Each structure stands twice: as structure tokens, then as C-alpha cells.
Structure 1
Amino acid sequence: MLLLLADFLAEFHSGFAVFQYLTLRGILGILTALLISLVLGPVLIRKLQVKQIGQAVRQDGPESHLSKSGTPTMGGALILLAISISTLLWGDLSNRYVWITLIVTLLFGAVGWVDDYRKVIEKNSRGLPARWKYFWQSVGGFGAAIVLYFSAQTPVETQLILPFFKDVVVELGIFYIVFTYFVIVGSSNAVNLTDGLDGLAIMPTVMVAAALAVFAYLTGNIKFAEYLLIPYVAGSGELIVFCGAIIGAGLGFLWFNTYPAQVFMGDVGSLALGAALGIVAVIVRQELVLLIMGGVFVMETVSVILQVASYKLTKRRIFRMAPIHHHFELKGWPEPRVIVRFWIMTVVLVLIGLATLKIR
């Protein structure tokens, strides 16, 4: 929106042409989303407290969590608001990738909002039934995959790129649709499972989004893409603004979500943010790198799968409690220790992901 205004004003003064630079608009996207989160955060928290929209805590979990009962939740709405406003202000609204990522994020956020609403407002412990949750997630995942597949302009946009190998690609063909669906929906649910401790999910999300912003910038620049031997996807560089909005909104939310949390994001935030990371990774053709950088999310998901499978097959549990962050709490780790150590793991994994740009 402001890009259009800057283009118009550039006709009268050349200084406004500076807003054409992606890096500047990416930075402005971060700062705008951060400011929105910091300004509106206290207002949202007060409204949630007044309406008694509080988090219900598992009775079988760590005892330290019982004090969190009643903490305002559904704070993810703040994150989505900040992301949307910042992206619409600084993004190129003629770019299809901007709209695809934003629509997918908001759709998954809507699914999470309904789930939270039923749990918190209607006091329905089941929330949105699993079949309906996965149905609407599937609508979003398959919808995005189909749009991307049939709007692809070059073969590379539907190929699977293997990190660390410069000449190895997998032709996905029509299977691209199914693969993309699993990346988006899987990423959404993985972040959702990780969101169990104060700040545990949001900071890794910010770090992965920052790395994806780098990939988006390089992938959308034909010279950098050719030099680094990565796919060139025209227009994908504009996603640096969207990723910047995630970074700013995430950091602003962390201001209130850090231990001890004043507000939780709820499914409205975690489902949306996971889907956002998934769709960006698909567009910049770095799905496998997302698997590396989001290793904490993967670990949390795998721990749940193993726990459920083990109990159903042997009636025994592998972990004291799943997702795995609760296992470490029950082993005696203080919550802040679990959070910070998982953050450190994410830093290392993101650096490994970024290293794939040169190690080929």
C-alpha cells in the first residue's frame, strides 16, 4: 500500500525511490509489526482478562503449570494483526506470493481461533473436533498447493531441491501438490505442539522466519541465485517483507509471552505461524532446509508420535510426558532452562540451514 504511494511520490522526488529496495521494506516491516505488537499488546491483554479468556492447564502436567491457569490466551490474534497490517503496508500488493502466504496464514489462524473459542469461551474441552480441524487445514494446504502448482512459471518451482547437493533435484510432478500439503499442514501442527512453554514456540519461529527471509531475498535475485546454485523464483524476494512482519510481530509478542507469560498465543497463533513458515519454505524451494532449521518443532512432533505409538502397541511410555519439553520438566529442569536450551538448539540448526547456501 505504502509502496504504491512511494512510487507515485517518486515521480516528484527521486528520494522516494528508496522504498523500492526490498531490504529497506523488510526492515520497515519488522519495525512496523513490532510497534503494533508493543502498542496493542497491553490493550489486548486487558480485554482478555476482562472477558476471562484464560488458558486451561492439564492436570496431569508439571505442577509448576497449575499457577498458569487463567492466564489470557488467544494472543495469537495480536500476532496475525501485526503481520497483516505490516505486510499490507510495505509489501508489493501486485505480487501473488504476498497474497498466497497471507491468505494461508489467516486461514490457519481462523481454524485455530475457532478451536480456541470453543475451548475457552464455550468451555468445550474438545475444542474444534479433530476431523473438522484437519478438514479446514487440508482445504488451506491443498488450496495453496494447487494454486502454486498451476501458476508455476518455471519447472524449478515444482522440483524438490536437496540441500548440500548442487546438481541433485527431484522432479515431483503432480506429487508436488501432495508434498506441499504435508509441508504446510505438518509445519502448522508442529509449531502448535511446541507451543507449551512461555516463549518456547515464538522465538524459534522468529529465528526460522529470519533465515527464510534470507532465502527469499536470494531466491528472488537472479544473480545471487545463479552464484549460489539455488533455484531462482521470480517474485519470491518480496516475501522478505512477510518474513520481516513475522519477526517483528513475534518479538513484540515475546515481550509479553516471555517467562512468566502474561499471555499465550493459543492455536490461533501457533497454527497460523507454522503454516506461514511452511508456505514460505515451499515458495523458496527450501522444504528440506525448513526440516533442518525447524528441528525443535520436528523433535516435539516426533516425541508425540513415538509416545502415542508406544503406548498403543506396548502400553508403555517412552517419555515421562509428551511433547518432549514436558519430559524435561518432569526430569527436574526449570521451565526457563528448557526454553533457553531449545532456543540455543534452534540457533545452531538455523545456522546449519543457512550453511547449505554455500556447502554444495
Structure 2
Amino acid sequence: MLYYLFRFLDQFGIPGAHVWSYISFRSLMALVLSLIISAWFGEKFIKYLRRKQIAETQRDASIDPFGLQKVGVPSMGGVIIIVAILVPVLLLGRMRNIYIILMIVTTVWLGLLGGLDDYIKIFRHNKEGLRGKFKIVGQVGLGLIVGLVLYFSPDAVMRENVAIEKQQTEELVVKHRSQETKSLKTTIPFVKGHNLDYSRLMSFCGKYKTAAGWVLFVVMTILVVTAVSNGANLNDGMDGMCAGNSAIIGVALGILAYVSSHIEYAAYLNIMYIPGSQELVVFMCAFVGALIGFLWYNAYPAQIFMGDTGSLTIGGIIAVGAIIIHKELMLPILCGIFFVESLSVMMQVWYYKMGKRRGVKQRIFKRAPIHDTFRTEDRQLDADCRYLWRGPKSVVHESKITIRFWIVTIILAALTIITLKVR
């Protein structure tokens, strides 16, 4: 809203009004404002939850070998993150931008879905929360909306990057097509052949390959939204873990959104140019600021947990942001921590069920997701169960595990950006 106000005032020569048209100024303002809101509102919200005795009483405290009691810590801290994102974006973003609208819808949609799960856990005292099938329906519904909007919206366009080799110097010069078009192409990491075309994968459909390509794109959108939001949810098991990892991922996505919206940087990196995606930088700065402010209270020992209200929303924001800038195939690298957490759970469940058919109690890890394995002592294990891997031998403090996971995510984020030039 402030963007439109100051653009109007700029017509009358009001000093300083023109700076609101700069994406760098609005992005930094969003970062600072979201950080302040999350820090200020966070304190008020925690006091309110404690006064009302709204806390997740079902949390397992026995897993911490260092004796930190976590039962009774307020939950639903994702509300802090959502408020700290939406307020700066509504004030500083361009509300007519289709990408900003999609990100706001994603934030509210998954915030409500996660909030319903937390409500059932806290107020209904049901530790299972919202049934998994209903979560999946909500995630699939959001993925369907995002995919169809990107298909039908005339504003969701791009200009393809084309590499032309100079015969005299054998140098590659990247140019972008002059026309803005709808496209089914996405960036592939490590591949010099630039982009993957979904319609090309569906070439066996003949003259219907473009329509089939869009169907494949919508299905891919659904899979990415579901996978990343669930991955973030599984990663939210230690104080500061998910918030810190997601803030790092948000910085990387903000950088990718900025270079995708700048035609010269897009040509230098040989990636597609996406007009209007610069507004995602404002959103991602608000996202990062909100998470850093939330860490003030969520760092070890946590004063509040984000709950599914926060973790599902965070994962959805990351997924939809990557899809909008056609970088969804880079998420397995960028969100490598989320991927490993999800994989560890799937492997654990599969191995346990495989043994159950044979009447054998067996597991791969001490606990799943994988981060819980590093803080589990042997005395906490089931004596009747056979473990494929009993490492590590000594337990690691929760705060050290969290920081080490942050370091891994920083490396993965850097690697994700480097892949654009490694090609």
C-alpha cells in the first residue's frame, strides 16, 4: 500500500518519494520491519499464550538426555512468523503483482491448515493432530491452485534465455527472446543444456504435448508443495532448527529471484528472465526477517515452538517461491536437509514394516527424523529391537546439532547458486 501512496506523491515532487520505487529499498525495509514485528509481537504473543496456558502438553520430554524439560512451552509460534511476513508485504509490496498474491495465498492457506492441526493438539488434547489425509488434501489443493494460476494468468510469463556461440572467438553470448511468453521450461542444475521443457517430456502425446506438459507441471507443483512443506514440518524438531535452516534457504531464494528479475544478471548466469519476479525479493526479505526475529525466542532453550502453523507455512513458501522462478528442480539441493529428514522417516517406516511381516522388531536409526538420532542415548532404546545403525556412540547437545545443520544448509545454499555457473 505504501508503494502506491509514495508513487502517487512522487508525481508532486515530494522529496524522497521516488526511493519507494527501488526494489532494494523496499526489500531492506521489509527485512527490518519484519524483524522488528516478530521480535515485538513475539514477546506479546508468548505472554498471552502463557497467561491463557496455551501449550503443547503432549511433547515428549524424555528424548533430551541433558534434562531440559520442554513440556508446557507455548506452541503455535507460527502465528508470529505469519504476522511478521504479511504486514511488511502488504505495506511494501505491489499488490497487483500475481506472484505476491500467490505467496500471500500460500502463507494464509498453509497457516490455517497448520493452525487447525495445532488447535486439535492443544485444545482437543489429541497429540495426533489433524489427520494426515486432510493435511495432504490441503497441500494438494494449494499446489493445484498455484499450478493453475501460473497456467491461466497472463502476467505469469518469462523470456527464454538463448545461448549463441560466436564463431570467431567460440564465446557463448546469452540473449533473451524479445517476446514474453508462457513457458513450461525450468532450470536444471549442473546441465549446460540450460532448461528442461515439460512439454518435451510429454512429446509422446503428439499434438497434445503442450496440454500434457501443463498437466505434468501442475502435478509437479503439487508434489513439490507437498514434499517441501512436509520436509519442513519434520525438520521442526529442535529449538531453532527449522527457523534457522529456512532463513538460509530464504536468502538463497531471494538471490535467485533477484537475478531472475534482472535481465543483465539473468543473461550472465544464462537463466530465463522472469518479469515481475523482483517482488519476490520483498517477500523473501520479509520471510527471512520474520524467521530471524522468531529465532530470538525459538533458539535453545526455546520460549515458544512454531508448531505446524509455522512449519507447514514455511515449507509452502519455499516451494511456491521456487516454482514461480522456475527453480523447483534445484530444491533437492537447496532443501537437502528437508529431503534427508523426510527420507530418514520413510526408510525407518519401510524397514520397520518389512521386519514386522517377518515377526522381527527392527529399525535403521535410533530415532527418526535423523536429527533425533544424534541426541538419543543407548539407554533410551528399545531392548527388544534390532538397530541397523546405532551411531553416534555419544550424544550431541541439541544446540550443537542445530548449528551443524545450519552450516550444512549454508553449504547447500551456496552450492545451489554455484550450480548456475558450474553448468
TM interval, shorter chain, is over 0.9
**In structure 2, what is the equivalent of residue 203 of structure 1?**
244
The answer to whether 1:296 aligns with 2:337 is: yes
Q: Give the one of 410, 415, 422 matched to 1:347.
A: 410
* Aligned residue runs from structure 1 range 31-70, under 5 A: 31-55=32-56, 56-58=58-60, 61-64=63-66, 67-70=69-72
- TM-aligned CA distance change 1:206 to 1:157, over 3 Å: farther
- Which consecutive residues of structure 2, in runs of 5 or more, have no partner in the other structure? 159-180, 199-212, 356-360, 377-391
- With over 3 angstroms needed to count, the CA separation of the structure-2 counterparts of 1:160 and 1:75, relative to structure 1, is same
Confirm whether residue 265 of structure 1 aligns to residue 265 of structure 2: no
2:359 is aligned with 1:359: no
Inter-partner Cα distance in structure 2 for 1:270 and 1:345: 19
Correspondent of 1:158 among 160, 184, 191:
184
CA displacement 1:104-128 (0-9 Å, x = unmatched) = 1210111000000000011122211
CA distance, structure 1, for counterparts of residue 282 and residue 239 of structure 2:
27
The equivalent of 1:318 in structure 2 is: 364
Instruction: Report what 1:180 is aligned to.
Output: 221
- Distance change in 2, residues 1:225/1:148 (3 Å): same
The answer to whether the Cα contact below 8 Å between 1:190 and 1:300 also exists between their aligned partners in 2 is yes
Equivalent residue for 2:399?
A: 336
Residues 201-228 of structure 1: CA distance to partner in whole angstroms, max 9, x if unpaired?
0011001101100111111122221221
Distance in 1, matches of 2:67 and 2:280, equals 37
If each structure's helix is expressed as a fraction of its own residues, which one has the higher value? 1
Change (3 A) 1:166 1:19: farther
- Larger-Rg structure: 2
Deviation at 1:66, TM superposition (A): 6.3
In 1: Cα distance, 2:232 partner to 2:331 partner: 12
Name stretches of at least 5 consecutive residues in structure 1 with no aligned partner. Answer: none
Confirm or deny: 8 A CA contact 1:62 1:326 kept in the other structure.
no
Does residue 232 of the first structure (1) align with residue 273 of the second (2)? yes
2:188 partner amino acid: L
Q: Which residue of 148, 151, 163 maps to 2:150?
A: 148
Deviations 1:287-327 (A, max 9, x none): 12222111111111111011011101124211000001100
Q: CA deviation at 1:340?
A: 0.8
Once the two structures are TM-superposed, the CA of residue 59 in structure 1 deviates from its matched residue by 6.0
Partner of residue 29, structure 2: 28
* Aligned residue number for residue 305 of structure 1: 346
Instruction: Give the Cα–Cα distance (whole angstroms) in 2 for the partners of residues 22 and 297 of structure 1.
Output: 30
SS at match of 2:247: helix
Q: Secondary structure at the match of 1:246?
A: helix
Distance in 1 (CA, whole Å) between partners of 2:35 and 2:64 is 32
Residues 13-36 of structure 1, C-alpha deviation per residue, up to 9 Å, x if partnerless?
253111111111111110010010
SS in 1 for 2:239: coil
What is the TM-score of this pair, normalised by structure 2? 0.82
Report sequence identity in percent.
Answer: 39
Shift of residue 168, structure 1, vs aligned partner: 3.8
Provide the residue aligned with 2:83 in structure 1.
81
2:6 is matched with 6
Q: Distance in 2 between matches of 1:317 and 1:273?
A: 30
Q: Is the 8 A contact 1:198 1:259 kept in 2?
A: yes
1:123 matched residue in structure 2: 125
Amino acid at match of 1:144: V
Asked whether the equivalents of residues 60 and 71 of structure 2 are also in contact (C-alpha less than 8 Å), the reply is no
Q: Which residue number corresponds to residue 220 of structure 1?
A: 261
> In structure 2, what residue type is equivalent to 1:103?
V
Q: Kindly indicate whether the alpha-carbon contact (under 8 Å) linking 1:116 and 1:266 is maintained by their aligned counterparts in 2.
A: yes
CA distance in structure 1 between the partners assigned to 2:66 and 2:110 by the alignment: 30
Alpha-carbon distance in 1 for matches of 2:52, 2:87 = 25
C-alpha distance in 1 between matches for 2:91 and 2:190: 36
Cα RMSD between the aligned structures? 1.5
Alignment CA distance shift 1:60-1:146 (3 Å):
farther
Give the one of 103, 106, 113 matched to 1:104. Answer: 106
Counterpart code for 1:23: S
How many residue pairs get aligned? The number is: 360
Counterpart of 1:348 in structure 2: which amino acid? I
The 3 A distance-change label for structure 1 pair 169 and 298 is same
The answer as to whether partners of 1:157 and 1:285 remain within 8 angstroms in 2 is no
In the aligned structure 2, how far is the partner of 1:202 from the partner of 1:126?
23
Q: Which residue of 2 aligns with 1:171?
A: 197
- Say which SS state the counterpart of residue 415 (structure 2) adopts: helix
